[in-house]
Structure 1
Amino acid sequence: MNGPRPFLCIADPSLRDFVGHHFSYDHAVAEAAREAGFTPLVLGHRALPEDVARQAGALPCFRDDIFAGLQGGGPIRRRRDDLLRNRRFAEDLLAGLPRDLPPGSMLLAHMLTKRQMLGLARVVEALPKHVTIVALLRYQTEFYDDGLTARAFARLRRAVAGGAKLRLASDSARLARRIGRLAGLPVEVLPIPHTPPELPPPAPPQGRALHMVSLGNARDEKGILEILEAIRLLRAEPAGLEGLRFTLQANDAVPEIAAAIDSFALELPEQVRLLRRALSPEAYAALLAESDLVLLPYWREIYEARTSGVLPEALGGGRPVICTAGTWMADELALCGAGLLVADHDPAGLAAAIRQAHAAWPRLAAGALAGRAFCLARHGGAPLMRALMAPPPPPLPPEPPRRVQVFYPWPDFLGRSAGASLRSNLMAEVVAPHVEELRVMQDGAAPTTRRGNILVEALHERRLIGLAKGLTWRGLRLLTRPLSGAAQQGEVLFPWLHLQRMVDPFFRRRMERLIGGSDAVLLEYGFWSAPVLEICERLGVPCVLTAHDVIEDRVAGSALLRRLTEWLERRALRRAPHVVAVTPGDAARFAALGVTAQVIPNPVDLGAMSKPLPAPPRLLLERLGIDLPDRPFGLFVGSRHPPNIAAVAALREVAARMHQELGEAAPMIVVAGSAAPAEEAPGFLALGQVHAMALAALYQAASIALVPLPEGTGSSLKTLEAMAAGLPVLGTAVAFRGLAVTQGEQGLVEDALERWPALLPALTADPARLARLAEGGRALAARYDHRLVMAAYLPLLGLAEDAAPMPALPQLLAETPPFPARIAARPALPAFSGGTLPVD
């Protein structure tokens, strides 16, 4: 004998019954540890029944499971409760461990949350340094991003520096990278130990129904409601449920889910069986053996990086699966199995996949059996023990971001009717094909919209929060009125946009959840920078701040408000790891502050601005109810923005003077957009907001674009849009800001608006000159096409600028290349497209 056998101690506070995979996980690890020469010791919950404890080889130990804790109360009460749970975890674990652990012993504490991490740090500090502690963290980062866990990670880093043998681990590479950023320690990836016993292959399908199962307790995030709805949809089709049968585990559901299951049970088809009680391990294995296919339409927001033990059990049993695209399960399926991928939250897609699986069953079954051996080589008790006994692997190599989060501070992202909305949309169009998902969080209360792999959500703030903010806003305007006067009272909006987010705890919690589930952040404007940048720093998530303009320039009525706005804006710029400016002038101003900014100018969608119309432009306008006189006209397009409103006022004067001097021979001036309400005067027509098709027709029918902007920051999208549409442009110097325009070649610059009444008729009477200007402007606009300009964001996000978009997602993974040469499939979904042409 060379001394006592080392222990493998498994700490699982949630081992209290057969629900979930705690029992199967612990039992598989304990058996593999025994075969590897360890003495297994499983420590479970004190409520563990004797029969379960006997089967698991476990001892009752912990007073709390991993989710026990105070749900209500204020933050101070919850923090004190979290401290209590951490202290009890450490006390119970230290009391349950053998006093003298032999050299080579290991402690595996798995499925921990923030209510155990500080306790784990205490245990690591207390145990002798010849004991290896492995902490398995397998939940989303929101489970580990509180202040107590930050303290725990700091203590763990100090313990490792002092010689402690601590290994942080996850069972998902996606999670490992995110938790590693949060912890400041490498996080390795461990196999999932529980796989099924040797299962016979499914019986031939001839003469029987295809048996599909949903395994595990019924939870909404596991797609149980989508499965029930898919069965309803299938039942309503002409073929009904013929050739199909379903067994669904429906146990331990929360009241809302249980009510939905009860409602479904009232109309239960004979082809569906609901199991309302938890299954023993033997009954669970028997159900898997009876199955032909396993349904896993899990919610992507939960399982994008998080794992599920059901998947390796299904793949290890040679069963095909249907699971959600863009998740850890999709990665595993592409490597070692066969099945179909469906969109997130899509009962109709799930129903179609079930029909497709039934039709393609021979290929699916063959692919699943072919991949079984590779799955068992990756997952199982023996692979887990080999990983634990081997030296820690090198840190995971960096990976391009899969999920990018955009924060947009206005409620009009989908509108594309303002310059900021258009720029952000065009940026999203370019970035989205290179990632799995691009999520946008905008202000306001618009419904959630998905277009391809772009998800646009709104804040939907609580009613009381909205009321409180409304009262505070009105009070702030009253207080600051003496500073700026009534004429410029709206300027207080800009510091308010910063300040309101600094003190909003609900907003901060929302940002923590979104950033924690992202690999990179794109922050449009700096208004939300205080919480967003702090959270990005804490979680280690890279962030790119785009300064659409210099906000302090828009506050001129009060020196005090301007200084406050300046301080808030500069604070954001200096804190952001990457800053993007839209003009070289803005970048130079930021450089004077010590901020290096990359210039990515405002782009234009060249293709959208030159699409052919279904009819001649004037005829199309007539059909849309816009009747224009048969004479040349200049076009101004703008939203209700102070510089645009001032430009419209100047154009009214120009139109009046031209009409006074030339009468009906003078060119008309037409205004489109919300910069002016619908009105008509001699030589002047304001249309108000117009349909996208009408705006496209106006661009093609006009003789010239007019942009008499008196002021502005950033660069003017309306000028580029007009050039891209093939219109010559007459404007003030502000209209061409940030653009490399040579006078008379790409545009005409004239700041003296009193000259316009003579200049505009002369231009419209010279088609050759207009054509030369239009040609030069179009060539200039081509250099600003969004596909070229917005590609500069890709390297800032860690994406190769010349990388091809992600390959199309295969429908039938049984047809993917042989093992193990596959790589995880990543979907390329349709690019984002807006509903209207842009107006800035």
Structure 2
Amino acid sequence: MSGRPLFCIADPSLRDFVGHHFSYDHAVAEAARAAGFETLVLGHRALPEAVARQAGAVPAFTDDIWAQRAGGGPLRRRQDALMRNRRFGAEFQAALPARLPPGSILLAHMLTHRQLLGLARVTEALPQDVTLVALLRYQPEMYDDGLSARAFARMRRAVAAGAKLRLASDSARLARRIGRLAGLPLEVLPIPHIPADIPPPPPPQGRPFHLVTLGNARDEKGFLEILQAIRLLRAEPGGLDGLRFTLQANDAAPAIATAIDDFALEMPPQVTLLRRALSPAAYDTLLAESDLVLLPYWRDIYEARTSGVLPEALCAGRPVICTAGTWMADELAFHGAGLLVADHDPAGLARAIRQARAAWPQLAAGAMAGRAGCRARHGGPALVRALMEPPPPPLPAEPPRRVQLLYPWPDFLERSAGASLRSNLMAAVVASQVEELRVMQDGAASPRRQGNILVESLQERRLIQLTKRLGWGAMLLLAGLLGGPSHRREALFPWLHLQRLVDPFFRRRMERLIAGSDAVLLEYGFWAGPVLRICRRLGVPCVLTAHDVIADRVPGSALLRRLTGWLEMRALRRAQALRGGAVVAVTPDDAARFASQGVQALVIPNPVDLQAMSRQLPAPARVLLERLGHELPDQPIALFVGSYHPPNLVAVARLRSLGAALAARLGPQAPLIVVAGSAAPAEEAPGFRALGRVHAVALAALYQEARLALVPLPDGTGSSLKTLEAMAAGLPVLGTSVAFRGLAVADGVQAVVADDLATWEAILPALLADPARLARIASAGRALAASYDYRRVMAGYLRLLGLPDNPPPPLPALLGAAPASRGSAPPRLPVFSGGNLPTG
């Protein structure tokens, strides 16, 4: 060696021109030589001699970064990954000179968990005047395993002992997330491969508008969506006139190759498929001949991950079409010009292509204007300069972009209970301030997306479902033996806490979801065991909402109540102890209970959507009810709304007796007590009418037609959403004190409070006979409900997450189908089917 410091690039996947490994290594090596370094590029042993000469590379590595054992169980796969780590470390060390000059830099890039432990071994063996840089540019789950955890631990010890190790990524989004895993800061490096100084394209007048894809054909690069968009454009009037497509279709996976072959059978003349990998020169020529580059990459993969194609296009002054809410969208905001499309949206991509063709002069001018800034920020010289300078300070904290909401029931979209309504309203507020909010609920419903909210279901395997049924049966048997047959059903709540603890499929699903999130909102503590462990390991903050005191749901068996209380408090304590974690209670009484056991909870009460409760109906209330099959006699209506929940069942029994007593005493002048929701099946009795589950519009009509609301709850935890909704709808409320738990209600002012049900027979007719008093109570109640409007109340979650506290827009349509059942019981059946009028 010449004695100059060495700049060594270790790239196990450098084996041909496919991908960006060659262009990356070539650009960095050239820049390093220009900066005065000796250079050494270490590639794969299968590297052809001609490519090796062009790259200035030495074959060194047996495995590329994706090499793995085909098949085998978890133990075999772990052993295989450990073997490849050892081989990578040994081959890396063997390829280095025996003595590295001071100031040398070793750059190992595009690594996965199959190289990290080997890299830690290299770090420990290097002299302290040599810098090792590890560039990690894949999704966090690539580094979320036992071997990576061991590697990061060894790297932390090596850094503490003086090793010059720098972890880096090329995306700030990735750097923050992987940094949480590593326990070390990650810096953000420039992307080195940018094209030569390509001239701007000529104006498209008199020639087709040329759209291209660059790089090999992969599903996550939106290749299938591009083919479908071309089909949609071809079917429109005018077809593909004025358009031209050149698509790199080389090295496709079997499923993609089949789709490409099917497309080729009907391929229009305006489309060219390039079936072989391009040389660097041919690649640059295709970019130079383009007018726009298509990048509809899948958001799941590229939300934080980078693509070298984008800086190449922007540095060439070419507009792009890329996916919204991704790293690419961030870069587009810095440099260049282009259009954003929704994820997995061929129709939106087709529209964007038409729009780009119409706006090409403006897009081309914007792209050329941003080119200089992009070339200054990226490129090989920029990367080498960054590594020659001292490491920058750690990235500053930023508000979460992607939030994961975990909901343990299958009714999130149905809003069939108080829990789903509250979670819907909270989701609407949080989603208004983040890039994406993802909801994972129990059950097997198909995914649904509205705007930036994605609702998915667990979709459990049959084996897990069978195991859970067997476990539940064993739990019932044990509870019956220990607590007596009459209390064995109270085993439900400890079972909900325990059932996920030993479910490996659930744990792996949570690991993937949480690794790709910046914060977690956990509804109830039932999933807290695995979820909080993952959050702690990944460094992801979690806010746990206790919708009520679960132990109070187990009144009969002292043993089951103690077990439930212990599991509940353990979940709350772990959430509180989590870095960035918090606990939310829905009433001051619940918060006081938790505080007495050492958990400090922020009170965010149950909310109501005030605007939705006062929306105008399309026809008179009675007319709508008749259209929906609910013909009610011309009597004053007193309304109760409730789900199939034990306190609601008791309330219905009380109302049935009250209706009979009033009918016997007052005859036709008696009010009619109407029950809506699954708390009672359809039924007619003297002074009493149960409608069962009703349409959302029917519920809205009932709120408008009723004279007052009745809420004779015997007990309950949390706060009652049915009470707030009635107040928000402008109804005066007569209820027990339990009905107003957590609400600042004064008897006779905002409501009428009476715990002795024997007095209701006199109170109810007297209230109906005094319209002025009812109006005063209704007005005060609605004013109270206004202070609980979800836009105001749910802003507490924004503050916990460090998000801007701005008013959200109206609820998205996805969250707008509302049921007529309020209560925090585990949902059994949706209370409404259909409907599109929110009630809360």
Partner in structure 1 of residue 152 of structure 2: 153
Distance 1:477 1:708 in 2: 31
Does residue 777 in structure 1 map to residue 781 in structure 2?
yes
Contact persistence 2:545–2:583 (CA under 8 A): yes
What are the ranges of 5 or more consecutive residues in structure 2 without an aligned counterpart? 576-580, 823-840
Partner in structure 2 of residue 815 of structure 1: none
Select 1:664's aligned residue among 668, 684, 691.
668
**Aligned-pair CA distance for 1:832:** 5.7
Does residue 178 in structure 1 map to residue 160 in structure 2?
no
User: Does the residue aligned with 1:413 lie in a helix, a strand or coil?
Assistant: coil
Select 1:766's aligned residue among 765, 770, 778.
770
User: Does the residue aligned with 1:149 lie in a helix, a strand or coil?
Assistant: helix
Per-residue deviation, residues 369-418 of structure 1 (Å, max 9, x unmatched)? 11111110011011111111111111111111101110000000001121
Q: State the one-letter code of the partner of 1:671.
A: V
**Aligned-pair CA distance for 1:468:** 2.0
Whose RCO is larger (CA < 8 A, sep 6+)? 1
Partner in structure 2 of residue 750 of structure 1: 754
CA pair 427-829 structure 1, distance change in 2 beyond 3 A: closer
Does residue 10 in structure 1 map to residue 19 in structure 2?
no
**Aligned-pair CA distance for 1:74:** 2.2
Partner in structure 2 of residue 628 of structure 1: 632
Percent sequence identity is 76
Distance 1:263 1:402 in 2: 39
Partner in structure 2 of residue 495 of structure 1: 494
Per-residue deviation, residues 195-243 of structure 1 (Å, max 9, x unmatched)? 0111121121111111101111111110001101101100110111110
Contact persistence 1:432–1:831 (CA under 8 A): no
**Aligned-pair CA distance for 1:831:** 7.8
Query: 1:100-499 alignment to 2 at 5 Å?
Result: 100-499=99-498
Contact persistence 1:452–1:831 (CA under 8 A): no
Select 2:593's aligned residue among 589, 604, 612.
589
**Aligned-pair CA distance for 1:86:** 0.9
Partner in structure 1 of residue 578 of structure 2: none
Distance 1:56 1:278 in 2: 17
Partner in structure 2 of residue 616 of structure 1: 620
Contact persistence 1:417–1:836 (CA under 8 A): yes
Distance 2:405 2:297 in 1: 24
Distance 2:186 2:298 in 1: 25
CA pair 804-291 structure 1, distance change in 2 beyond 3 A: farther
**Aligned-pair CA distance for 1:838:** 5.4
Distance 2:160 2:70 in 1: 35
Partner in structure 2 of residue 96 of structure 1: 95
**Aligned-pair CA distance for 1:650:** 1.1
Partner in structure 2 of residue 836 of structure 1: 818
Contact persistence 2:610–2:786 (CA under 8 A): yes
Partner in structure 1 of residue 797 of structure 2: 793
Moved more, 307-316 or 753-762: 753-762
Partner in structure 2 of residue 812 of structure 1: none
Partner in structure 2 of residue 825 of structure 1: none
User: Does the residue aligned with 1:422 lie in a helix, a strand or coil?
Assistant: helix
Q: State the one-letter code of the partner of 1:743.
A: D
Contact persistence 1:636–1:671 (CA under 8 A): yes
Q: State the one-letter code of the partner of 2:171.
A: S
Distance 1:310 1:713 in 2: 55
Contact persistence 2:428–2:811 (CA under 8 A): no
Partner in structure 1 of residue 536 of structure 2: 537
User: Does the residue aligned with 2:85 lie in a helix, a strand or coil?
Assistant: helix
Partner in structure 2 of residue 818 of structure 1: none
Distance 2:444 2:650 in 1: 31
Contact persistence 2:222–2:295 (CA under 8 A): yes
Partner in structure 1 of residue 838 of structure 2: none
**Aligned-pair CA distance for 1:73:** 2.3
Does residue 63 in structure 1 map to residue 62 in structure 2?
yes
Select 1:703's aligned residue among 707, 711, 720.
707
Q: State the one-letter code of the partner of 2:537.
A: R
Distance 2:559 2:758 in 1: 35
Contact persistence 1:429–1:832 (CA under 8 A): no
Partner in structure 1 of residue 719 of structure 2: 715
Contact persistence 2:414–2:817 (CA under 8 A): yes
Q: How high is the TM-score relative to the length of structure 2?
A: 0.96
**Aligned-pair CA distance for 1:46:** 1.0
Distance 1:484 1:698 in 2: 43
User: Does the residue aligned with 2:246 lie in a helix, a strand or coil?
Assistant: strand
Contact persistence 2:6–2:37 (CA under 8 A): yes
Partner in structure 1 of residue 655 of structure 2: 651
Distance 1:725 1:85 in 2: 65
Contact persistence 1:536–1:542 (CA under 8 A): yes
User: Does the residue aligned with 1:434 lie in a helix, a strand or coil?
Assistant: coil
Distance 1:347 1:661 in 2: 67
Distance 2:778 2:475 in 1: 48
Distance 2:780 2:292 in 1: 62
CA pair 326-346 structure 1, distance change in 2 beyond 3 A: same
**Aligned-pair CA distance for 1:476:** 2.2
Distance 1:786 1:313 in 2: 46
Distance 2:719 2:691 in 1: 25
**Aligned-pair CA distance for 1:286:** 1.1
Contact persistence 2:479–2:487 (CA under 8 A): no
Distance 1:224 1:467 in 2: 39
Q: How high is the TM-score relative to the length of structure 1?
A: 0.96
Moved more, 340-349 or 150-159: 150-159
Per-residue deviation, residues 224-265 of structure 1 (Å, max 9, x unmatched)? 011011011001101111100111111111111111111111
Per-residue deviation, residues 714-762 of structure 1 (Å, max 9, x unmatched)? 0000000000000000111110101110011011111111222222122
Contact persistence 2:317–2:367 (CA under 8 A): yes
Distance 1:649 1:623 in 2: 28
Per-residue deviation, residues 671-718 of structure 1 (Å, max 9, x unmatched)? 101111111112111111111111001001001101111111000000
Select 1:680's aligned residue among 681, 684, 687.
684
Partner in structure 1 of residue 830 of structure 2: none
**Aligned-pair CA distance for 1:490:** 2.7
Distance 2:814 2:524 in 1: 21
Distance 1:254 1:366 in 2: 37
Distance 2:260 2:460 in 1: 31
Distance 1:104 1:717 in 2: 66
User: Does the residue aligned with 1:526 lie in a helix, a strand or coil?
Assistant: coil
What are the ranges of 5 or more consecutive residues in structure 1 without an aligned counterpart? 807-827
User: Does the residue aligned with 1:472 lie in a helix, a strand or coil?
Assistant: helix
User: Does the residue aligned with 1:415 lie in a helix, a strand or coil?
Assistant: coil
**Aligned-pair CA distance for 1:364:** 0.6
**Aligned-pair CA distance for 1:805:** 6.6
Q: State the one-letter code of the partner of 1:610.
A: S
Distance 2:420 2:731 in 1: 23
Distance 2:70 2:792 in 1: 50
Distance 2:807 2:312 in 1: 35
Distance 1:466 1:837 in 2: 27
Select 1:740's aligned residue among 744, 760, 763.
744
Distance 1:440 1:675 in 2: 27
Moved more, 120-129 or 610-619: 610-619
Contact persistence 1:453–1:829 (CA under 8 A): no
CA pair 395-589 structure 1, distance change in 2 beyond 3 A: same
**Aligned-pair CA distance for 1:837:** 5.0
**Aligned-pair CA distance for 1:830:** 5.4
User: Does the residue aligned with 1:664 lie in a helix, a strand or coil?
Assistant: helix
Contact persistence 2:215–2:248 (CA under 8 A): yes
Contact persistence 2:318–2:364 (CA under 8 A): yes
CA pair 797-103 structure 1, distance change in 2 beyond 3 A: same
